Amino acid sequence: MRNDWERPSLSRRAFLGGLTTTSVAGCATVGLGRPQLTFGPASFEVTSMSALVWLRTSGPARVQVELGRRATLEGAVPAGPFEATAAADYTVVTELQGLEPDTEYFYRGVMLDPDAAKAPARGGVGRFRTAPVTAKQFQFGWSADMEAGHQPFQLFESVVRRRPDFFLHLGDMIYADVPKDRFVTSLAHYRFKHRENRDDRFLQRMLADIPVTAIWDDHEVENDFNSTHDALALGRQAFREYWPVRTGDPRVLHRRFAWTPAAEFFLIDCRSYRSPQSTPEGPAKTMLGAAQKAWLRESLKSSRATFKFIVSSSPFLVSRGTDSWANYTTERRELLEFLRAELIRNVIVLSGDYHLAYDLGGPPGIDEFLAGPIAAWPHCTMRGKEGSRAALERTGRFFICDEFNYGLVDVRPEASPPAVEVQFIDASDRVRHRRTITVS
């Protein structure tokens, strides 16, 4: 995602006269049927001057997106039209550009009838707020893991009530391989599983109300998959169709973005390039792959943000686990030594995957927090984890291992000294834990 918080703001006249869009949906001839808007609206990867708006139709259709600054969308600016086609499972992603920083916008999808004399059908209204360009306080949430059998995803009701500026989803948006007897590694199956979860009304409301930035994990393809999996490209295609990503190369998911000059986020892809888990430990064993690791090192080194958030679907500082960074210790040690050597401080790792809320702490200059599940099997109820509660208690660190949960992060760049407060919130909307990290 482009770092554009330094770019000058636009006047309202410039916005109304110069709104530009880029559609990343495929194009095809619109059929003669009467499809409907089935999912959306949703916004993704919002920056200070742009946003990705997503919707889906039930079949071939021509659609527009209306954008304005009033909830009624009076005087809204139309963008499009765009074609919803089978090539993208009838999903449409529109990039809205030329927006003003730190401004609330409202939007909706519009179905254009093939009969021009008939009025278009308008969908529900969504909202998002663009990022500020000054160092001001903001808040974001994060979590992971939502399995269709655990619907409704009621935890999102708490997220919407607290209305963070954006939400980071750290993977397992679907459990493609659950139930196992219905699992097939096909694009049609992956798309079905994404639609199955997108049908949840609590998820729909959250997506309409709060911008999301997402990275995938294993269950978008198959449990614990690595770079050798035959269906990796199919799972990634379906993921990108339902969880838009702002990268030029469709094979690339890792990216960085800033939210105010105070905080920068580095989303890493822990699946596409990782060596098989059974690979012997050593320099050749990798979680990130050479190109992504070089990108991460250079990105962290060049960042001027006060706080640097590494967003990793796989837990980073944990001491055990064949599918986590604990099984890639040579590369993990290399990254930790790089942070020390380059004097890169105020690094906070946000992770998921373990179905567990956990304040891991960390060595000087780095902390890690795990969150989840949104709606899946809590850690202490998972098969083979019967003794996990006692082991967690022995660490002396805060944890939640038996409830759905998410993390909420309050970034306070204007505090003296600048600080970040991390909270864990459970399914009853209770704040269970707080910890404040100040600039080191």
pTM metric for this prediction: 0.93
Predicted confidence band of residue 133 (pLDDT cuts 50, 70, 90):
very high
Contacts of 286 (CB under 8 A, 6+ apart): 273, 274, 275, 293, 328, 331
pLDDT tens per residue, range 374-412: 999 999 989 888 788 999 999 999 999 999 999 999 999
Nearest Cα residue to 98 out of 193, 197, 187, 14: 14
- Position 116 scores a pLDDT of 67
pLDDT of 119 above 90? no
pLDDT of 54 above 90? yes
Task: Calculate ∠ Cα 326-185-26, nearest 5°.
Answer: 105
pLDDT of 8 above 50? no
Rounded-to-integer distance, Cα 59 and Cα 37, Å? 9
Rounded-to-integer distance, Cα 146 and Cα 214, Å? 13
Q: Which amino acid is at 353?
A: D
The first and second tokens of residue 117, run together, are 């004399």
pLDDT tens per residue, range 290-347: 999 999 999 999 999 999 999 999 999 999 999 999 999 999 999 999 999 999 999 9
pLDDT tens per residue, range 256-302: 999 999 999 999 999 999 999 999 999 999 999 999 999 999 999 99
Return the percentage of the chain with pLDDT > 90, whole number: 88
**Burial of 136 (C-beta count, 10 Å sphere; 0-12/13-18/19+):** middle
Contacts of 144 (CB under 8 A, 6+ apart): 169, 170, 171, 172, 217, 313, 352, 353, 371, 372, 373, 374
Nearest Cα residue to 55 out of 30, 25, 87: 25
Q: Which amino acid is at 84?
A: A
378-to-28, 148, 352 alpha-carbon distances in Å: 44, 14, 12
50-57 and 255-258 strand pairing: unpaired
Rounded-to-integer distance, Cα 172 and Cα 148, Å? 11
Q: Which amino acid is at 222?
A: E
Rounded-to-integer distance, Cα 330 and Cα 310, Å? 18
20-23 and 366-370 strand pairing: unpaired
Percent helix, strand and coil across the chain, each to the nearest 5: 20, 30, 45
- Position 385 scores a pLDDT of 85
pLDDT of 22 above 70? no
Phi and psi, residue 168, nearest 5° = -100, 120
DSSP string, 45-64: S--SSEEEEEEEESSSEEEE
- Position 33 scores a pLDDT of 56
Mean pLDDT of the chain: 92
Q: List domains and CATH numbers for the chain.
A: 12-129 (2.60.40.380), 138-438 (3.60.21.70)
pLDDT of 13 above 70? no
- Position 113 scores a pLDDT of 83
